[in-house]
Structure 1
């Protein structure tokens, strides 16, 4: 029983239970627009995609699912993005005014909080930031949809809430068949969505740090500095390259005036960081733009946020390690701080496990489907990084291939380190160390 309740395993189990509950609810006849129970694989895949805040779908969310089914999907990706243990922590704080050590440990695993004393504080911050951002975005979208698109207040409000919650949780679900392509010329829709995606994906530990030390960047944690710097670099690089690659593409940016090209290139760069919305037709992008999406999706956004991927901090720790090795430095350093050996080993582990999962998933899907390698790689990385973007092949993948994607989504959301720790249960402490030797590298 103690093994089952290990903090890392508890996080993994919570997501599995939510997926099971979501599948059962979506299999009810009332969940579909036709009143007929959906195929089990459809309900299961949708539940996994929602809980893991991915956004890959095999049926159109807006027309296949009834209002009840859409509400279930919204609740699933809200819970998956907010965090099950974070919610339990908040409930414990409100009821008992204190937290047991096990509750703090489990929440620490899910939220990647450094100190146990910060758990309750970060949990409260998650609630406040989530509520404020989602309500603010929903209000802007509802007003725009009512005033500019002629929707009634009820329909506008539901559209706004669904897309606001989906954006903040980096879920990528849309009740429109074309995602948000119909709003590709409307900054009043795309900019609030981008705001939600970035704030939700930057990571709550960073937001917690900024809340405490906003005016004193010198005392920000190294994690916050690496995440903010890395996020800025990736957003800028993605924006410039999408604009460059797609500038003359007649099916995407080509016919647009300058302002709309800039808006849609920016949205594509932001959304590629695991959000899953698209204002451009992904299947019509040039292949070099698909290739650009591979690293952007795989890296993802900040740790302990609503986004997926191997995370910005992970990659930039390794980038700094490479530069330190090239320069012959004995330590991996950044911003006047030495990065611990443990953090470097964890970063390497996350990256290697992620690459292995993507490689294995790609090979299996290439075997199971007739699609070209570039489309399959795009789909696999999108699933693992919980992005939700697709070149249009998801609905045509056979059930065995969909099962592969669900495994990738689950592993990507729970986290490769957390998943591995849940299986291995802890690090062994050896009473001895072997003699050191240096194998030849390169």
Structure 2
């Protein structure tokens, strides 16, 4: 096992992740896990385990009523484990076993924050997190997750108490909602879901903040934490300039995420303002807020105050695109990641300007980053296409509904048109595989399946095919 883990850290991490899914499948199958005291069918147990560990939020059963207290505790623990990420999880397990963070564990954790580290050869210095900082990153992962979830729960608790929810139940629901927001899962502990809070903008805003913090990625949270520390030192009269603290990765993640949230909200306003089933009966202020809420949640949050099937077809397509993009790298969100989209646009912009190098925020981005980005998009698109074809054949459902739920599964978004819950077992297994493919990461999975790179000491003659 040690030799296997050293030769292929990514395969070792996937093995750990798959093992967790098997363990949770068995646990969800136990009679004690269901509210009825009966054995949950294998398809539902497996799908729930994958959805929980992959922090997706899709379900084939009513998550609030089907599971017992023990089952809900499993869900709560499972999303916390899954939120750590495949490679980071493997690093932490290795740290626990060896009681120290060795080079192999550092490489595994670094590859979660920067997939380029899984490739042989030099890596540009503009890393999100350097190898020497991995120990601090893992501490940040644990501390930030704990602190953020506790703060969110503390803010949600008074609102629940005001609504007349018993104290014990309010504490549990606030912790549950905070975990589901930060991990971008989207499960609700109550059968009504967000319906009781659909007009409580304080409650919804706290959920939005939790989802956003979970979606920007732990490297960005780590950078923000370092910036806060530098700001405190600067207030005391010493410390570095804050402007040099953020890497290109941090800037691209924050800027692209903000642009996508605003663009998504604007599109929802334009496309849904006259839809009586969604925003058509709301005033201007409510329409704007609900549009921003939906824009944030489509990126991977999974919460919704409206029925997704009621959206216009154009809005469903916009949601498909936002879900496919997802959140930041090494975050609790899924998708191809916002930095991947940013790099593709930077490459297209550089090509339009007729320059050879991609540049952003005064830094040059090497070409291997573009190749990796293209690979991620193609792998993701292929996964979505194959799964959609299979689900279409099995369910005979409309294309827009099938595409929506498949992308939601791949991007671990959790929003659904209701199709997933109505699928037969064959479709459930396909959707579970799609969630797994999306969560373990297209780059991680590709690296795990690919053979080790070999050094090539020659170059073949160059010839340019016609493109476009």
Question: Which TM class, normalised by the smaller chain length?
Answer: over 0.9
Partner of 1:49: 51
- For 1:94 and 1:30, how far apart are their aligned partners in 2? 30
Partner of 1:120: 135
Partner of 1:155: 169
- For structure 1, the residue ranges without an aligned partner over 5 or more in a row are none
- For 2:220 and 2:243, how far apart are their aligned partners in 1? 12
- For structure 2, the residue ranges without an aligned partner over 5 or more in a row are 115-127, 232-241
- For 1:384 and 1:106, how far apart are their aligned partners in 2? 23
What is the root-mean-square deviation of aligned Cα atoms in Å?
1.8
Matches within 5 A, 1:360-399: 360-399=386-425
Matches within 5 A, 1:29-178: 29-83=31-85, 86=88, 89=91, 98-112=100-114, 114-147=129-162, 149-178=163-192
Partner of 1:429: 455
CA displacement at 1:246 relative to structure 2: 1.4
Which secondary structure state, in structure 2, belongs to the residue aligned with residue 55 of structure 1?
coil
- For 1:435 and 1:363, how far apart are their aligned partners in 2? 39
Contact 2:28 2:71 in 1 (8 A): yes
Contact 2:4 2:12 in 1 (8 A): no
CA displacement at 1:344 relative to structure 2: 0.8
Moved more, 90-99 or 181-190: 90-99
- For 1:46 and 1:367, how far apart are their aligned partners in 2? 23
CA displacement at 1:255 relative to structure 2: 1.9
How high is the TM-score relative to the length of structure 2? 0.90
Contact 1:33 1:65 in 2 (8 A): yes
CA displacement at 1:93 relative to structure 2: 6.2
Contact 1:111 1:304 in 2 (8 A): yes
Which secondary structure state, in structure 2, belongs to the residue aligned with residue 155 of structure 1?
helix
- For 1:323 and 1:396, how far apart are their aligned partners in 2? 44
Contact 1:170 1:307 in 2 (8 A): yes
Partner of 1:21: 23
Contact 2:411 2:435 in 1 (8 A): yes
- For 1:259 and 1:176, how far apart are their aligned partners in 2? 28
- For 1:362 and 1:228, how far apart are their aligned partners in 2? 31
Q: Give the 3 Å change call, closer, same or farther, for CA 150–350 of structure 1 in structure 2.
A: same
Contact 1:55 1:386 in 2 (8 A): yes
Residues 7-52 of structure 1: CA deviation (Å, up to 9, x unaligned): 1112211210110111011001000010001101000000000100
CA displacement at 1:189 relative to structure 2: 1.2
Partner of 1:288: 314
Residues 32-73 of structure 1: CA deviation (Å, up to 9, x unaligned): 010001101000000000100100001111111111101101
Which secondary structure state, in structure 2, belongs to the residue aligned with residue 8 of structure 1?
helix
Matches within 5 A, 1:270-309: 270-309=296-335
CA displacement at 1:85 relative to structure 2: 5.1
Q: Does 1:189 align with 2:203?
A: yes
CA displacement at 1:94 relative to structure 2: 8.0
Moved more, 149-158 or 426-435: 426-435
Q: Give the 3 Å change call, closer, same or farther, for CA 96–49 of structure 1 in structure 2.
A: closer
How high is the TM-score relative to the length of structure 1? 0.96
Residues 67-106 of structure 1: CA deviation (Å, up to 9, x unaligned): 1101101111110002365456557768977411111122
Contact 1:90 1:124 in 2 (8 A): no
Which secondary structure state, in structure 2, belongs to the residue aligned with residue 272 of structure 1?
helix
Moved more, 430-439 or 30-39: 430-439
- For 2:161 and 2:82, how far apart are their aligned partners in 1? 29
Moved more, 163-172 or 201-210: 201-210
- For 1:438 and 1:245, how far apart are their aligned partners in 2? 43
Which secondary structure state, in structure 2, belongs to the residue aligned with residue 318 of structure 1?
helix
Partner of 1:357: 383
Count of aligned positions: 441
Matches within 5 A, 1:322-341: 322-341=348-367
Partner of 1:343: 369
Contact 2:85 2:331 in 1 (8 A): no
